[in-house]
Amino acid sequence: METLMEQLAPNLYLYRDKFYKSFSATVEMFWKAGLIAGVVGLLLGVLLVITKKDGISPKPLVYQVTNLLINVFRSIPFIILLIFLIPLTRAVVGTAINVKGAILPLVFGTVPFYSRQVEVALSGVDPGKIEAARSMGSGTVGLIFRVYLREAVPDLIRVTTVTAISLIGLTTMAGAVGAGGIGSFAINYGQNQNHPDIVNVCVITLLIVTFILQSLGNGLSRRATNCGLLTRHHAGEKEKVV
Amino acid sequence: MIEIRNLNKTYHLKTGDVKAVQDVSLQIGDGVIYGVIGYSGAGKSTLVRCLNLLEMPDSGSVTLEGTGEITLKGGKPYLDGKVMTSRQLNGMRRGIGMIFQHFNLLDRCTVFENIAYPLRHTGRSGKEISRRVRELLALVGLEDKIDVYPSQLSGGQKQRVAIARALAADPRVLLSDEATSALDPEATESILALLQDLNRKLGITIVLITHEMAVIRSIADRVAVMEDGRVVEEGPVYDIFAEPEAEITRKFVSSSLLGKLDRMIAEDSDLVKVRPGELLIRLTYRKDCVEEHLLTTAARTCGFDLNIVLANSEYLRGNPIGGMAGILSGERENIEKGIQFLRQNHVSVEVIRDGDADGTACAESVPVS
């Protein structure tokens, strides 16, 4: 493996430790920012859907404020957002550089996109199902967890996949605040030192990661359509076991 | 007993206000299958949603057994003088089952989970829920589909699951919003039979919304006819069929009993042309006279001739009803005597065309009573 790498990409071989470090920095940024952005984005997406004018708990003021904030942050290019947020990042996490300093801007860059996508996914739930659940006495919380979030799972998986892939794109820019990662490795060691093999390997690596994410998302989404994601045992079977 | 009093609901749309329900008052007795018929846009769906407050009426009151009188002021529900809490509202809704045209099952839940939906989070144990779901599935005849997802069911089966789900929490009332409109004739019939069966077995009150007279005819006990947000006519299905008063009711009924007659008149068919001295009449026999040979008796004793254009009779909720259209000829005096005789024997007689009407003979169609 190592000799093959030496032959095909001699420069990468030379800097392989840096490459591994960069890759793990990208992975770290991806899952940390992704996890936080996922939770916050889901919350905001749900908030948008339920507070909408014809939502299950209409609150025009809440909706408009959330909507405006999301639009504002969505329209700032990420590379600008990175430096714009430096004071905030410093105040919140104590530093604005390294992987630690990149998480917050990554979250800010992902949440607006993700919450919009979640909003679209949840809006796709048939209003008839909501009405039926209301007729059975479900309140707002019941409607969110038992109908919206549950029925929208295939779409939620789809939009999460799209967002995850776009988040990988964002992590490559985090080098601008010294967070490292594949992106900055490709620029500093590949482009700036004129090592095309390094650039090529970085591209291939990102392609593979994207491909894996997309296939995983497609597969899960298909599995979850019109049935439970995991084969669930219903209460009746449990009773038989007991 | 459900009592609706002076219910109003207006939608404020950009294109203007739509008065979906206007001053509707109805009483729906316990254990009755109550039909509400009207064309789309007549406000029947809104009316039925006002019963479980899925739509909040602007004003009026709804009295439900087990809940009490809910008064609406300024679009807010009041119970015993206090604004209803969402807990009270949801509790009230649990006491009313509802089924829909498009079934509205949860696609990602099995049949079991769909039916268990109203039972969960109500303090029932898993065992209890499981027992109840099996009971309900037996009631609707789908025991073998317990682990199946809705996408694997036919329309009729989906509606059965929806019915089981609506009945899960033991409601006293079942609201049916065009429940058979998306089904083929066979499935429609079986769902209607099921509803009737449930009504008899469980004594559940069913409020049935439809635009098809056939649905009303086959299972409803009483019917309200709606047009433009108002109830224009209300009564036992048999009476409404035998003597429809409002124009729209007549349309619904005639499409059902002597459907072709109206078309014949509209197209001025040769079959309904009358010569001078003749009369085109429509007779409706009710249960108290349908079995007697009144017509031939009248023709014989009074002395007139009859040419039958169209005749039909059928059973409605166990009672016979008959309709006939024909052309009477003979001495005018005799014909009038005959009509008199029929009317005395509770046959309703409508003169549709009079061959003597100011010389133009068949050109004029006398508006039905």
CATH number of residue B119's parent domain: 3.40.50.300
pLDDT of residue A235 exceeding 70, the answer is no
Do B290 and B216 lie in one domain? The reply is: no
pLDDT of residue B291: 66
pLDDT of residue A6 exceeding 50, the answer is yes
Both tokens of residue A27?
């992975």
Cα nearest neighbour of A132 on chain B: B104
* CATH number, domain containing residue B280: 3.30.70.260
What residues of B are in the A interface, CB distance below 8 Å?
Answer: 52, 54, 86-87, 90-91, 93-94, 96-98, 100, 102, 104-110, 112-113, 116-118, 120-121, 126-127, 129-130, 133-134, 146-147, 149-151, 162, 165-166, 169, 175
Q: What is the pLDDT of residues B285-341, one digit of tens each?
A: 877 776 678 888 888 888 888 888 888 887 887 788 888 888 988 888 888 888 888
Domain presence at residue B158: yes
pLDDT of residue A242: 34
Chain A residues with CB inside 8 Å of B107's CB? Answer: 151, 226
Domain count, chain B: 2
Do B244 and B279 lie in one domain? The reply is: no
CA pair distance B245, B232, nearest whole angstrom? 9
CA pair distance B61, B51, nearest whole angstrom? 10
List, in order, residues 6 or more apart from B28 with CB less than 8 Å away.
B1, B2, B3, B4, B34, B205, B207, B222
A207-226 exposure pattern, b = at least 16 Cβ within 10 A, e = fewer:
eebeeebeeebeebbebbbe
**Nearest beta carbon to residue A239 from set B97, B120, B130:** B130
Domain count, chain A: 1
pLDDT of residue A36 exceeding 80, the answer is yes
- Domain span including residue B32: 2-253
A–B CB contacts, 8 A cutoff, strictly below: 95
Nearest to B241 by CA among B7, B97, B37, B28: B37
CA pair distance B59, B76, nearest whole angstrom? 8
Place of tokens 């001025």: B268
- Domain span including residue A182: 2-241
Chain A residues with CB inside 8 Å of B209's CB? Answer: none
What pLDDT band is residue B361 in, cutting at 50, 70 and 90? very low
Domain presence at residue B369: no
* CATH number, domain containing residue A135: 1.10.3720.10
Domain presence at residue B335: yes
ipTM > 0.95 for the complex: no
What is the side-by-side order of every strand in the sheet holding B205-210? B96-99, B173-177, B205-210, B33-37, B222-227, B230-236
CA pair distance B136, B118, nearest whole angstrom? 13
What pLDDT band is residue B367 in, cutting at 50, 70 and 90? very low
Do B240 and B267 lie in one domain? The reply is: no
Q: Across the interface, do B110 and A150 touch by the CB < 8 Å criterion?
A: no
Do B288 and B243 lie in one domain? The reply is: no
Q: What is the pLDDT of residues B271-297, one digit of tens each?
A: 888 888 888 888 888 777 766 788 888
Chain A residues with CB inside 8 Å of B104's CB? Answer: 126, 128-129, 131-132
Q: Write down the pTM of the prediction.
A: 0.85
Q: Across the interface, do B104 and A129 touch by the CB < 8 Å criterion?
A: yes
What pLDDT band is residue A77 in, cutting at 50, 70 and 90? very high
CA pair distance B323, B3, nearest whole angstrom? 34
CA pair distance B216, B33, nearest whole angstrom? 9
pLDDT of residue B362 exceeding 60, the answer is no
Interface test with A, best of B45, B92, B109, B120 (most A CBs within 10 A): B109
Do B119 and B98 lie in one domain? The reply is: yes
What would the mean pLDDT of B241-262 be, rounded to a whole number? Answer: 80
Please state, rounded to an integer, the average pLDDT across all residues of chain A. Answer: 90
Amino acid identity, position B57: P
Chain B residues with CB inside 8 Å of A150's CB? Answer: 106, 108-109
Find the angle CA(B132)-CA(B133)-CA(B139) to the nearest 5 degrees: 90
